[in-house]
Amino acid sequence: MSDIFKPENDAHVVDAVRWAASGNGKVLDVVGHASKRGLGRLSRAENVLDMSALSGITLYEPEELVMRARAGTALLEVQAALDDAHQMLAFEPWLPGALYGTESGTLGGMFACAQAGPRRPLVGSVRDHLLGFEAVSGRGERFKSGGRVVKNVSGFDLCKLMVGSMGTLGVMTEVTFKVLPRAEKSRTVLLMGAKDPGAAMRKVQNSAYEVSGVAHLPATIAARSGVSDVRENAAQGVTLVRVEGPASSVQVRCEALRALWAELGRVEDLHTANTAQLWAEIRDAAFFTPDHQVWRLSVSPSDGPALAAMLAGSEYYLDWAGGLVWLAVPATDGASAERVRGALNDCATSGHATLMRAAPEVRARVAVFQPQPTGLERLMKRVQDGFDPHRVLNPGRLVLDRE
Amino acid sequence: MKMPTPDATIIARRVDIIARLQAIVPGDGVIVDDNELRTFECDGLMAYKQLPMVVVLPSTTEQVSQILKACHDMGVKIVPRGAGTGLSGGALPLADAVTVGLGKFNKILDIDLDNRCVVAQPGVTNRAITDAVEDQGFYYAPDPSSKIACTIGGNIAENAGGMHCLKYGLTTNNVLGVEMVLMDGEIIRLGGKHMDAGGLDMLGAVTGSEGLLGIITEVTVRVLKQPDTAKALLVGFDDVEAGGACVARIIAAGIIPAAMEMMDKMAIGAMQKFVDSGYPLDVEALLVVELDGSAAEVDDLTARVQAIAEAVGSTFIRVSENETERSQFWKGRMSAFPSVGRISPDYLTMDGTIPRHRLPDVLTRMAELSQRYGLRVANVFHAGDGNLHPLILFDANEAGELDQAEAFGHDILRLCVEVGGVLSGEHGIGVEKRDLMGEMFTEEDLNQQLRLKCAFDPDGLLNPGKVYPTLHRCAELGRMRVTDGKLPFPDIPRF
């Protein structure tokens, strides 16, 4: 028989974890709003630890660029508070709606899943914004790490480990994170029909113009954009660069970027409202049809374009100036993992591939997250032993435990 | 501060240990002579000195691996060392340990500007990375004051910061990958030229781990394109509170300057005396604010910062007219440590971080402490990110003054923690702040950190006596405290 626990305070979380850790093979599926169940393997836990009642912003000091909230707080609530103060989560959290049809989820889930958006190369990833947390380990012990300040070298940085751990090390109960001012203006320059999109992207990425997004949409993908300027110019593919900041600066930098791209093809500007919509599509992988598996590859920018074209034909696009490849393969492709990871090994100097969307039975069979070399995998298991020796938290969600 | 008691049985085997090391690193790579060992007796925290049992200077990853494996098998402790510029005693030798110096790992291996990264050996200096890419208009952002001497490997060990991390991040935000050797000799790679290493973020955990988890043998860092323009402003105030208010208002206006430094009257005087930087001597607090980006943006932001400064009652404003003047404005702040060295025979460099708005309160209480201890303190402050560097002035030749200075420093760090800050912003805990960890963390917090240590180094051979006051045995830490049948049934809402 399965239990659903809905803790209302930290002590409840401790009790639930200790109950599970007491033996008899009891395990917990830790969820916030269950919005990202499409990511990772399905947990084999039959009992649910529902964190959604541990909710609410507990500290927000805009002039200190810091917010603290309970882990079950809805991301929408956080974003509303940030909007009021003209601030933002600078790493542009990926939202699961486009891939899974779910709502935005909770803060705890956002940190546990660690998927950053187009602004990542400029401002850092999810991991770079978590300043501190409180959690209950798989041993049923409360612990904290970090603090509320950005500069902090006081003991091991466990924040980094918790981000992206898919809830397998501890149940975060409260998170403290860095927030940043939202730019006054945001504009996108479009380049149509670039012959070598990779080189075009790196040209602007490696310029002095502090670009906050560099992407390329091949024709098929660009034609599916909800932004008419992109859709109507889709024919030979669209390469994009975003600039943000004070109005005067945005204008100057856009002009400079247009000049950099002028010899590569036709260029055009996209203004603030359309820019927001377009980069949300890029952030969330909104271009793929539901009958496709979706992969996300992080590689060095110069490796991305060739790798993507080789693997996906036309069903792909590039973010992070080529360093992030989103690609789709038919849902019936049973060998996509071998093919994608094989190509990654053969053609990229370094990188990893994550299966972002696939049927549960596919995710049960293949490694959703990049398998690690043996020595590193052993080390990661020893780290897990330290946090959750009996694997009671989200067992199997990150890697398939040998049972 | 007590270091672990040296193990006499290990010291008794010194000759054997040296022979094992010489077999791995032939030639002059093993240092055993007392006079030569003295070079390694301390790092930047010079109050503590200890001759190492032996120093080995490997030049390949394979040698590092063999050294660690041999020491692991013999149960011999290891102290990793870069350039020895650290300020918290992280590279302080132990009488029964092998100091592994990475000085021979001094080559840049790959400059890949297409992918905005540089691959370097750990003994390359921080500044040398910028030097290698500067002619192409690139630079490496983290810029600790010791950048000419400190190594990139040491920067990763201590998660080094600098003046420009307000906008561009600390070391941890600028490292893409490492190759490292674990205590048992195993060589692993974390990350690479891509972003966000897959799996658990071990790279993030290793950064700032102060040599307790492994020895780094190769580093991949991100380099950035130099901004088009940069301007610096000097802004003076009659009182520290107005300076603090100015910092808060700049941030609240949505401006993130490239750097925002603050100093108090004693620091200003010392710096201006050391090098003419254009600092006014009749202010209580001085800000150096740097704005960078396109020329239009810099002009726009400069005007906005000036307006804010005037609104909060600044008594002095100067904007750099050109690059020469901009670097002049920075000269004093960059020479904070030698400047203070001129006005006092000795000084201790503290390094705590506080929530910015607590600054006036913290400075007031620090002044009270200064009176109580009868020791002067000069303050330099990375104001943008709340990182304080109080410099406690003392004379080591006066009996008891070092102890007093240390006690004063510890009180300052307790104060930082009390107001919601942390023990170290960028220098690390090392031996200096080790015994204060309990001020910030509970025993359960510390035990959870130590379990990470156990995953990397179960025998506790890497850099013992640093960071953590007590090292419990890993077997003890691994035990679960609860057993079946003894638990209260959880009294929590169920469905």
Cα gap B124→B355, rounded to integer Å = 34
Residue B190, classed as helix, strand or coil, is strand
**Amino acid at the residue A52:** S
pLDDT number for residue A332: 84
Tokens, residue A19 = 């109950």
| Helix axes of B443-456 and A374-387: crossing angle, nearest 10 degrees | 160
Chain B CB contacts of A161 under 8 Å are 200-202, 204-205, 452
Residues carrying CATH 3.30.70.3450, chain B? 229-335
CATH of B344-426, one of 3.10.180.10, 3.30.1370.60, 3.30.70.2740, 3.40.80.10: 3.30.70.2740
Tokens, residue B476 = 């003890």
- Whether the pLDDT of residue A116 is over 50: the answer is yes
Q: Which residue of A has its CA nearest to B449?
A: A156
B321-345: average pLDDT: 94
Please provide the average confidence, as pLDDT, over all residues in chain B: 94
Residue A400: pLDDT band by 50, 70, 90 thresholds? Answer: low
B116-121: average pLDDT: 98
Residue B492: pLDDT band by 50, 70, 90 thresholds? Answer: confident
Chain A, window 90-119: residues with a beta carbon less than 8 angstroms from a chain B beta carbon: 114, 116
Closest CB to B113 among A155, A206, A382: A206
**Amino acid at the residue A39:** L
Q: Tell me whether strands B224-225 and B259-264 are parallel, antiparallel or unpaired.
A: unpaired
**Amino acid at the residue B70:** A
Residue in this structure with the two tokens 């040698």, named with its chain if needed: B63
pLDDT number for residue A56: 98
Is B188's CB within 8 Å of A379's CB?
yes
Chain A CB contacts of B202 under 8 Å are 161, 376, 379-380, 383
Chain B CB contacts of A157 under 8 Å are 159, 172, 204-205, 207-209
Angle among Cα B440, B441, B446 to the nearest 5 degrees reads: 145
Nearest CA distance, A350 vs chain B (angstrom)? 6
B408-427: average pLDDT: 96
- Whether the pLDDT of residue B484 is over 60: the answer is no
Give residue-wise pLDDT tens across range A72-107. 999 999 999 999 999 999 999 999 999 999 999 999
Residues carrying CATH 3.30.70.2740, chain B? 344-426
Nearest CA distance, B6 vs chain A (angstrom)? 24
- Whether the pLDDT of residue A383 is over 90: the answer is yes
Is A249's CB within 8 Å of B442's CB?
no
pLDDT number for residue B482: 56
Chain A CB contacts of B113 under 8 Å are 206
- Whether the pLDDT of residue B252 is over 90: the answer is no
Tokens, residue B23 = 């077999």
Closest CB to B198 among A5, A144, A370: A370
A58-72: average pLDDT: 96
DSSP secondary structure string for all residues of A325-355: EEEEEETT-TTHHHHHHHHHHHH-SSEEEEE
Cα gap A216→A278, rounded to integer Å = 12
The larger pLDDT score, comparing residue B92 to residue B485, is at B92
Residue B398 CA, distance from chain mean position: 29
On whether the B229-335 domain is CATH 3.30.70.3450, my answer is yes
This complex has an ipTM of 0.96
Chain A CB contacts of B169 under 8 Å are 124, 128
CA end-to-end distance (rounded Å), chain A:
21
Chain A, window 11-40: residues with a beta carbon less than 8 angstroms from a chain B beta carbon: 12, 15-16, 18-19, 21-24
Q: Which residue of B has its CA nearest to A22?
A: B484
Cα gap A288→B389, rounded to integer Å = 52
Cα gap B383→B391, rounded to integer Å = 15
Q: Could you tell me if B72 and B184 are in contact, meaning their C-beta atoms sit under 8 angstroms apart?
A: yes
Q: Could you tell me if A202 and A216 are in contact, meaning their C-beta atoms sit under 8 angstroms apart?
A: no
Residue B26 CA, distance from chain mean position: 33
Q: H or E segment at A181?
A: strand A180-181
Cα gap A161→A34, rounded to integer Å = 21
Q: H or E segment at A115?
A: none
- Whether the pLDDT of residue B120 is over 60: the answer is yes
- Cα distances from B143 to residues A174, A269, B162, B171, B261, in angstroms, run 32, 36, 5, 9, 13
Residue B485: pLDDT band by 50, 70, 90 thresholds? Answer: very low
- Whether the pLDDT of residue B285 is over 90: the answer is yes
CA end-to-end distance (rounded Å), chain B:
53
Residue A22: pLDDT band by 50, 70, 90 thresholds? Answer: confident
Cα gap B208→B417, rounded to integer Å = 19
Domains of chain A: 1-182 (3.30.465.10), 185-284 (3.30.70.2190), 292-365 (3.30.70)
Tokens, residue B303 = 């005007």
Q: H or E segment at B474?
A: helix B474-478
CATH of B8-101, one of 3.30.365.10, 1.10.3330.10, 3.10.450.50, 3.30.43.10: 3.30.43.10
The larger pLDDT score, comparing residue B473 to residue B14, is at B14
Query: pLDDT above 90 covers what percent of chain A?
Result: 88
Residue B333, classed as helix, strand or coil, is helix
Cα gap A42→A318, rounded to integer Å = 28
Closest CB to B444 among A62, A142, A152: A142
pLDDT number for residue A403: 41
Q: Could you tell me if B71 and B228 are in contact, meaning their C-beta atoms sit under 8 angstroms apart?
A: no
Tokens, residue A268 = 């055009």
Tokens, residue B268 = 């200003």
- Whether the pLDDT of residue A340 is over 60: the answer is yes
Cα gap B349→B404, rounded to integer Å = 14
Q: Could you tell me if A218 and A294 are in contact, meaning their C-beta atoms sit under 8 angstroms apart?
A: no
Q: Could you tell me if B327 and A126 are in contact, meaning their C-beta atoms sit under 8 angstroms apart?
A: no
Q: H or E segment at B490?
A: none
pTM for the full predicted model: 0.96
Domain B108-225: assigned CATH number:
3.30.465.10
Which letter does DSSP use for residue B340 in this model?
Answer: H
Chain A CB contacts of B137 under 8 Å are 208
Query: Quick check: A140 contacting B, CB < 8 Å?
Result: yes
What are residue B343's phi and psi, to 5 degrees? -100, 0
Closest CB to B455 among A324, A373, A385: A385
**Amino acid at the residue A77:** E
Nearest CA distance, A371 vs chain B (angstrom)? 8
Q: Could you tell me if A139 and A21 are in contact, meaning their C-beta atoms sit under 8 angstroms apart?
A: yes
Q: H or E segment at B222?
A: strand B215-222
pLDDT number for residue B486: 52
Is A386's CB within 8 Å of B444's CB?
no
pLDDT number for residue A1: 61
Give residue-wise pLDDT tens across range A146-184. 999 999 999 999 999 999 999 999 999 999 999 999 999
Chain A, window 258-297: residues with a beta carbon less than 8 angstroms from a chain B beta carbon: none
Residue A213: pLDDT band by 50, 70, 90 thresholds? Answer: very high
Cα gap B430→B447, rounded to integer Å = 18
Query: Quick check: A241 contacting B, CB < 8 Å?
Result: no
- Whether the pLDDT of residue A226 is over 70: the answer is yes
Cα gap A137→B223, rounded to integer Å = 37
Residues carrying CATH 3.30.465.10, chain B? 108-225
Residue in this structure with the two tokens 């490496």, named with its chain if needed: B140
Q: Which residue of A has its CA nearest to B209?
A: A156
Query: pLDDT above 70 covers what percent of chain A?
Result: 99
Query: pLDDT above 70 covers what percent of chain B?
Result: 98
Q: Which residue of A has its CA nearest to B177?
A: A350
Residue A272: pLDDT band by 50, 70, 90 thresholds? Answer: confident
Q: B59-82 as b/e, with b when 16 or more CB fall inside 10 Å?
A: bebebbbbbbbbbbeeebbbbbbb
| Ramachandran sector of residue B178 (left: φ over 0; alpha: ψ -120 to 50; beta: rest) | beta
Residue in this structure with the two tokens 């069979």, named with its chain if needed: A365
Chain A CB contacts of B434 under 8 Å are none
Cα gap B33→B55, rounded to integer Å = 10
The residues that bridge with B64 in the sheet, in sequence order, are none
Select from B178, B160, B386, B172 the least CA-distant residue to A128.
B172
Is A184's CB within 8 Å of B467's CB?
no
Nearest CA distance, A291 vs chain B (angstrom)? 26
The larger pLDDT score, comparing residue B347 to residue A271, is at B347
Closest CB to A163 among B201, B210, B492: B201
Is A252's CB within 8 Å of B225's CB?
no
Is A22's CB within 8 Å of B482's CB?
yes
Residue A25: pLDDT band by 50, 70, 90 thresholds? Answer: confident
Nearest CA distance, B252 vs chain A (angstrom)? 5
Residue in this structure with the two tokens 């996906």, named with its chain if needed: A312
Handedness of CA B120, B124, B130, B135 (dihedral sign): negative
Q: Could you tell me if B379 and B406 are in contact, meaning their C-beta atoms sit under 8 angstroms apart?
A: no
Cα gap B448→B464, rounded to integer Å = 17
Q: H or E segment at A197?
A: helix A197-205
Q: Which residue of A has its CA nearest to B418?
A: A147
Q: How many cross-chain Cβ pairs, A to B, lie less than 8 Å apart? A: 334
Q: Which residue of A has its CA nearest to B352?
A: A152
Residues carrying CATH 3.30.43.10, chain B? 8-101
Is B187's CB within 8 Å of A375's CB?
yes
The larger pLDDT score, comparing residue A24 to residue A327, is at A327
Residue B305, classed as helix, strand or coil, is helix
pLDDT number for residue B393: 96
